[in-house]
Amino acid sequence: MPDTLYSLPLNLSLFVFLLGCVALDLLFGDPRDWPHPVRLIGKILARLEGWATSFFLGPRIGGTLSVAAVAAGSAATVLLLTGLPLMGEILALYLGYAGLALGCLLRETNTVLALLEDGRLAAARAHLAGLVSRDTDDMTEDEVCRALGETLAENFNDGFVAPLFWLCLLGPAALWAYKAVSTVDSMWGYRTPRFEKIGKAGARADDILAWMPARLAAISIWATGWLLLRPAAWERIARDARSMDSPNAGWPMSAAAHVAGVSMGGPTRYFGEIKDKPFLGPLGVTWSPQRVRGMLRALLPAALLCTVVLTIAGSSLSWWNLG
């Protein structure tokens, strides 16, 4: 008699579950009118900001305690929900799918591209502003496409490969511990007077948790380049990736830039100030919607490759169980 909804021989139950999470993400993405755990985490962090900033032992310790509490609380809540009889497995499937953002990323990218191709530059800028932290008001079409390509490449890891990595290896609780840390980094991880001290711990934790997935993402993009007859030298990818301030963001970005034959980085406006970022990929290439679509064609097979590798690894290791 099967013990769970997904009880199949050996580790096949985990394999089917993990593929189901990816399939649901691609099919449904993140419905705008549906409550999402990341939004709840964001509201909690908004309330914790004042407490962390004014913590009596200093904002650095306040920030450290905040990220620890949010990550541990997220994992504990998921463990509690997924441990419920019968209903827990349905919740596990939802939480596994909701923690992945590839479907949403693809839809948002295609929305901006459609606006650009329709000649609606102002609308494309406005939509892009919801995806990036840089200033978009005065962007040219070339700059909109570059920003879109860069966020697509970076979030290929942050929104898909890294959460899938933790889901496959340690289950939904680990996925949501990672998502909590990632949300702290996205909200507090800025080198500004407001966030620099309270966001330090979250940024460091995110660097650690995303270290391996970022390199896996880069390898998958590089391998896809060879399959698509767009070979890129790994030495150049690694060289450019290491030039970035972030120990992780440069890897998928550099791989995508070299495989797609585009240039990323350079002067970028954040919060009214210009930041000179290292250039990644071949120089002198003008961005266009067609260039971004070319990057999409490289990232989709890379996502498939990561999915196959990680689901097989997770279901073979079986470090966690359903039900």
Residue 231: the pLDDT is 87
Residue 185: the pLDDT is 95
Cα distance between residue 254 and residue 237, in whole Å: 5
Within a domain: residue 1? no
Alpha helices per DSSP H over the chain: 12-28, 37-53, 59-82, 87-98, 102-117, 121-129, 141-156, 162-170, 172-188, 200-209, 211-227, 234-242, 250-260, 289-317
Residue 93: the pLDDT is 96
Residue 228: the pLDDT is 87
Within a domain: residue 5? no
Within a domain: residue 301? yes
Within a domain: residue 4? no
Cα distance between residue 287 and residue 20, in whole Å: 35
Residue 156: the pLDDT is 98
Residue 107: the pLDDT is 95
Residue 35: the pLDDT is 82
Within a domain: residue 168? yes
Measuring CA to CA, which residue among 83, 104, 97, 103 is closest to residue 18? 97
Within a domain: residue 180? yes
Q: Give pLDDT < 70 ranges for the chain.
A: 1-10, 323
Within a domain: residue 290? yes
**Domain count across the chain:** 1
Q: Which domain holds residue 262?
A: 12-317
- pLDDT tens by residue, 15-33: 999 999 999 999 998 887 7
| 301-320 burial: b if 16+ Cβ within 10 Å, else e | bbbebbbebbbeebbeeeeb
Question: Cβ of 234: how many Cβ atoms within 10 Å?
Answer: 15
Within a domain: residue 2? no
Residue 9: the pLDDT is 44
